[in-house]
A and B are shown apart, each in its own frame.
Chain A
Amino acid sequence: MGNVPTTVKHCLSYEQLIQDYPWLRRWLLLEEKTITGHAYPKFVKIVEVGPRDGLQNEKEIVPTGVKIQLIDMLSGAGLPVIEATSFVSSKWVPQMADHSDVLRGIQRAPHVQYPVLTPNLQGFQDAVAAGATEVAVFGSASETFSKKNINCSIDESMLRFEEVINAARERQIPVRGYVSCALGCPHEGHIEPSKVAEVAKRLYEMGCYEISLGDTIGVGTPGSMFKMLQSVMKEVPTSALAVHCHDTYGQALPNILTALQEVWGGFVTNLLLAGLTMTTVFFCLCPGNVQASQSVTLFYQHPETSMGVCVVDSAVAGLGGCPYAQGSSGNVSTEDVLYMLHGMDIETGVNIAKVIEAGDFICSALCRETNSKVARAKGRTL
C-alpha cells in the first residue's frame, strides 16, 4: 500500500492488521458467539407484525376490543416492537378502519414501540393525531407489484414517502421502511438483488432508520436470501436492516438463519470498525468527504462474507396468509422464530409462553388453528 500511514493500512486491510498483531485474532474470537465458524448476534430484535400485517388479511372484521387485547397481551410478552395498525384508507383496507380507536385503546408498555403504517401524508397526519410515535412506509422492489398494490410506480411512491418522512422528521418521529418482493414478485417473478438494493438505499437515504426486506410471496431460499443481502449491504449498513420472511414455501426459518449468520471474519471486521472508525472519520473529515466515510463504513462490512442482520419481523401464530396462494401460510410465526433463537442462546427479551398465550387467544377469536408449529406441538405434547 506504499506510503499510506500504518493506521490507514490497518483500516483498509484486516489481513494486514492480523499479520502485524497476531494476538488480536485470538483475543477477538473470545468475544464471539460462534457455532461452527459462524457468528450470530447475541440479541435479536423481534418486530411483531401480527396485529397489522397478520389481521389485515382476515376477511371477517376483527372487533376492535379483540385487536386491543391481542396487542396488550403481546406487550405483556416482552416484544420490543408491535406494529399496531395501519392508517390506510378504510375504503382499501376495511379491517384497519378502527386504526385510531386501536391506537388510543392499547396500553402502551414503556420501552415498547408501536409503529403504524402510513402510506401517505394524510395517513401520517391522522396517525399523529391518534398518538402515533413511530410510523412505517411500504415500498416495493417490483414495478408491477407497486402499480397493482398501491396504484403507482416505485418512483411515484418514493415521492409520497418523502413527504411522510419529511413531516415525520419535523416531529422527530422515526420512520421504518419496508421493501416488498425482495426475493420474488407474484407478477414479475425473479427480482434482481440490485433493484432491492436500489429501493432500500433510497428509503434509507430519505431518512428511514431501518429497512425491512420482505419476501412477500415466500419463494426465497437461503441461496437467494444470501445474494439479495449481499447486494443490499453494499448500500445500507447491516445494523439498519431487518428481514421479513414469509413461510409460504416453508423456507422462512432457514432464510432467517442465513440472514443472522456472520462469518467470524465479518464479525471481527465490524468490531474493528468500532475501534478504528474514529481514525477513519478523522482522516475523511474534510468538507464534502462525508460520503467517503460512509463508503468506508460499508467497506468494513465485507459484504462478500458477512450477513449479521439482527432484526426479524414475524407474526404471532403465523397470522396472515398469502393472498397469492390462497390457503397457504404467509408470515412466519413469532413462536417458531423465538424457539429457534432461544435454542441458539440468542436473546430476544421475549417470553415465548406468553406469545403462545396471545396466539391461542387470537386463534380462538378467529376460530382458527394456529400456523405455529411450536404452539401446535406444545399444545399436544404428552
Chain B
Amino acid sequence: MAAVLRLVNRGTLSSAMGQQYLTFSSAPKVQAVGVRAGQALPERVKIVEVGPRDGLQNEKTIVPTETKIHLIDMLSASGLPVIEATSFVSPKWVPQMADQVEVMKGISRIPGVSYPVLTPNLKGFQAAVKAGASEVAIFGAASELFSKKNINCSVDESLQRFNDVMKAAKEAGVPVRGYVSCVVGCPYEGKVAPEKVAYVAKRLYSMGCYEISLGDTIGVGTPGSMIEMLEAVSKEVPISALAVHCHDTYGQALANILVALQMGIGVVDSSVAGLGGCPYAQGASGNVATEDVVYMLHGLGIQTGVDLSKLMDAGAFICRTLNRKSNSKVAQAVCKL
C-alpha cells in the first residue's frame, strides 16, 4: 500500500496520507500550551524566510535568475511575511548574488510581504534602493576574528561602516534589520561571551535597526547557551525587537527556538528545505528548515500565517532544481508516505 502511494505521489506532495500527517501539526484544537507559571508562548510568530539569500548564497553552482524569482514567488504565495530576496554585496565576493537587480525587479511582490536585501555598505544600499528595495539588512559579528576573516575589518570598524547605511536609510525612510553572527560560538574563537553579543546588538539597535536577528552561525548552541546569551541581550534590547537565527548543524535548532519562544521572542529566521550548508563543517547542515519550524509552531497552536503545504511545494521545487534532497525532515517524511 505504501509502495503504491509512493508511486502515485512521486513529484507531488498533495497525497491524502501526507495531508493526514500535516494535521498533527495544524491541530486547531490544541491550545497554546505555553502557559506555564505565567510564561505564555507568543500567540503569533513571524517567520523570516532566508532561503533565497542565506540559503542559495552557499550554493557552488550559480542558480539561474529565473529559478530564484520563481522560488521567491512560490514562497510569497505560501504566506511568509518576510522573504530575504537577495544581497547587494559585490559579485566579486559573492558571485551567486550577481543577479541581485534582476531578482529584485523580477519578483511579484505581494502587498504586506517584506523583501529585505543585504547591504554591507553605502554603495550596496544605494544600488539596492535603485533596484526597488524597501527594506535592507546589515550584518555584524560578535566575534572579532570572525569579523576580520569574513568582512576584513574589526567589529567596531564594521559598525562604523553601517553608520553610513543607517543614515542613508533613515533619510530614505527604509527600515533596517540588524544581524549579529556567532552569538553562541565562533569557528575561530570558540565560545563567545554573551556580554559581547549584547554589546553588538545594543549598538545596532541604538543605531536604528528595528530588529536584531541573533545568529548561531555554526549551530553549536544548546538551550543552555542560548538562554544565557538571550538573557544578556534582552537586558540591552527589548525582547520584541529580537529574532533568533538558529543553525541546525548539531541538530539543536528547534530546541533552541523553543526556549527562545519561551523567553518571549516572536521572530524566527529559517530557510525553506534547510537550504544553506555550513561552510565551517563541510557537508553538515546549516540553516534550520522552515517546514520543520512551521510544523513545530503549528503543533504548539502558534499562528504563522504560513500554508505548510505550499511551503513544501516551494521546497520541493528548489530541491528538484538543485538536484538535491531536502534538509527538512517534515518534507522528507511526507514525501515518503
Bound together, the chains give a CA A131 to CA B152 distance in angstroms of 64
B61 contacts partner chain A, Cβ-Cβ < 8 Å: no
Bound together, the chains give a CA A377 to CA B21 distance in angstroms of 30
A380 contacts partner chain B, Cβ-Cβ < 8 Å: yes
Expressed in whole angstroms, the minimum distance between the Cβ of B326 and any Cβ of chain A is 11
A62 contacts partner chain B, Cβ-Cβ < 8 Å: no
Contact check, A339 vs B282: say whether CB atoms are below 8 A apart: no
Q: Which of B225-275 contact A (CB under 8 A)?
A: 225, 227, 231, 248-252, 254-255, 257-259, 262-263
Contact check, A373 vs B249: say whether CB atoms are below 8 A apart: yes
Bound together, the chains give a CA A309 to CA B7 distance in angstroms of 41
Bound together, the chains give a CA A372 to CA B24 distance in angstroms of 25
**Which residue in B296, B298, B337 is a CB contact (below 8 Å) of A254?**
B296
Interface string of A31-57 (1 = CB under 8 A from B): 000011110000000000000000000
A221 contacts partner chain B, Cβ-Cβ < 8 Å: yes
Bound together, the chains give a CA A381 to CA B283 distance in angstroms of 9
Contact check, B259 vs A35: say whether CB atoms are below 8 A apart: yes
Contact check, B24 vs A250: say whether CB atoms are below 8 A apart: no
Bound together, the chains give a CA A190 to CA B281 distance in angstroms of 39
Contact check, A38 vs B36: say whether CB atoms are below 8 A apart: yes
- Residues from chain B with a CB closer than 8 A to the CB of A227 are 30, 33
**Which residue in B24, B39, B225 is a CB contact (below 8 Å) of A221?**
B24
B143 contacts partner chain A, Cβ-Cβ < 8 Å: no
B199 contacts partner chain A, Cβ-Cβ < 8 Å: no
- Complex: chain B residue closest to A248, CB-CB: B333
Among A35, A333, A336, max chain B CB count under 10 A is at A35
Q: Which of A107-134 contact B (CB under 8 A)?
A: none
- Complex: chain A residue closest to B248, CB-CB: A373
Contact check, A377 vs B329: say whether CB atoms are below 8 A apart: no
Bound together, the chains give a CA A69 to CA B25 distance in angstroms of 40
Contact check, A224 vs B258: say whether CB atoms are below 8 A apart: no
Contact check, A263 vs B224: say whether CB atoms are below 8 A apart: no
Assuming the A-B contacts A249-B333, A377-B219, A381-B280, are A336 and B36 also in contact, with contact meaning beta carbons closer than 8 angstroms in the complex? no
Contact check, A249 vs B329: say whether CB atoms are below 8 A apart: yes
Assuming the A-B contacts A326-B2, A377-B249, are A222 and B281 also in contact, with contact meaning beta carbons closer than 8 angstroms in the complex? no
Q: Which of A229-273 contact B (CB under 8 A)?
A: 247-251, 253-254, 256-258, 261, 263-265
- Residues from chain B with a CB closer than 8 A to the CB of A89 are none
**Which residue in A247, A258, A343 is a CB contact (below 8 Å) of B258?**
A258
Contact check, B258 vs A250: say whether CB atoms are below 8 A apart: no
Contact check, B278 vs A263: say whether CB atoms are below 8 A apart: no
B321 contacts partner chain A, Cβ-Cβ < 8 Å: no
Bound together, the chains give a CA A220 to CA B300 distance in angstroms of 10
Among B23, B231, B296, B328, max chain A CB count under 10 A is at B296
- Residues from chain A with a CB closer than 8 A to the CB of B30 are 223-224, 227
Bound together, the chains give a CA A98 to CA B306 distance in angstroms of 50
Expressed in whole angstroms, the minimum distance between the Cβ of A186 and any Cβ of chain B is 9
Bound together, the chains give a CA A226 to CA B224 distance in angstroms of 20
Interface string of B203-235 (1 = CB under 8 A from A): 000000000000000010111110100010000
Binds A, one of B71-79, B106-114, B154-162, B284-292: B284-292
A29 contacts partner chain B, Cβ-Cβ < 8 Å: no
Interface string of A327-368 (1 = CB under 8 A from B): 111000100100110111100000000000000000000000
Interface string of B1-23 (1 = CB under 8 A from A): 01000100000000000001101
Bound together, the chains give a CA A41 to CA B51 distance in angstroms of 37
Contact check, B295 vs A251: say whether CB atoms are below 8 A apart: yes
Bound together, the chains give a CA A305 to CA B24 distance in angstroms of 23
- Complex: chain B residue closest to A346, CB-CB: B224
- Residues from chain B with a CB closer than 8 A to the CB of A325 are 332-334, 336-337
B330 contacts partner chain A, Cβ-Cβ < 8 Å: yes
Interface string of A367-382 (1 = CB under 8 A from B): 0000011101100111
Contact check, A221 vs B250: say whether CB atoms are below 8 A apart: no
Contact check, B336 vs A249: say whether CB atoms are below 8 A apart: no
Assuming the A-B contacts A36-B263, A221-B25, A264-B37, are A339 and B251 also in contact, with contact meaning beta carbons closer than 8 angstroms in the complex? yes
Contact check, B254 vs A250: say whether CB atoms are below 8 A apart: yes
Expressed in whole angstroms, the minimum distance between the Cβ of B2 and any Cβ of chain A is 7
- Residues from chain A with a CB closer than 8 A to the CB of B23 are 189-190
A324 contacts partner chain B, Cβ-Cβ < 8 Å: yes
Expressed in whole angstroms, the minimum distance between the Cβ of A103 and any Cβ of chain B is 32
Contact check, A35 vs B280: say whether CB atoms are below 8 A apart: no
Contact check, A253 vs B33: say whether CB atoms are below 8 A apart: no
- Residues from chain B with a CB closer than 8 A to the CB of A324 are 2, 337
- Complex: chain A residue closest to B302, CB-CB: A223
A184 contacts partner chain B, Cβ-Cβ < 8 Å: yes
Contact check, A253 vs B255: say whether CB atoms are below 8 A apart: yes
Among B2, B262, B334, max chain A CB count under 10 A is at B262
B91 contacts partner chain A, Cβ-Cβ < 8 Å: no
- Residues from chain A with a CB closer than 8 A to the CB of B278 are 377
- Residues from chain B with a CB closer than 8 A to the CB of A77 are none
Assuming the A-B contacts A189-B23, A221-B295, A343-B225, are A250 and B328 also in contact, with contact meaning beta carbons closer than 8 angstroms in the complex? yes
A84 contacts partner chain B, Cβ-Cβ < 8 Å: no
B187 contacts partner chain A, Cβ-Cβ < 8 Å: yes
B27 contacts partner chain A, Cβ-Cβ < 8 Å: yes
Bound together, the chains give a CA A343 to CA B253 distance in angstroms of 13
- Complex: chain B residue closest to A219, CB-CB: B24
B52 contacts partner chain A, Cβ-Cβ < 8 Å: no
A139 contacts partner chain B, Cβ-Cβ < 8 Å: no
Contact check, B336 vs A36: say whether CB atoms are below 8 A apart: no
- Complex: chain A residue closest to B296, CB-CB: A221
Closest 10 CB pairs of A and B: A221-B299, A343-B222, A250-B329, A373-B251, A344-B224, A336-B251, A250-B292, A219-B24, A223-B300, A253-B255
Q: Identify 30 residue pairs between A and B in the complex whose beta-carbon atoms are under 8 Å apart, listed by A's number.
A: A38-B36, A183-B24, A184-B24, A190-B23, A217-B21, A219-B25, A221-B27, A224-B30, A227-B30, A247-B329, A249-B25, A250-B296, A251-B295, A251-B299, A257-B223, A257-B255, A263-B36, A322-B333, A324-B2, A328-B329, A329-B332, A333-B251, A336-B252, A340-B223, A344-B224, A373-B284, A376-B283, A377-B281, A381-B280, A382-B280
Other A-B pairs beyond A184-B24, A324-B337, A339-B251, 11, CB < 8 Å:
A35-B227, A36-B39, A183-B24, A189-B24, A249-B330, A251-B254, A254-B254, A257-B255, A263-B37, A343-B222, A373-B284
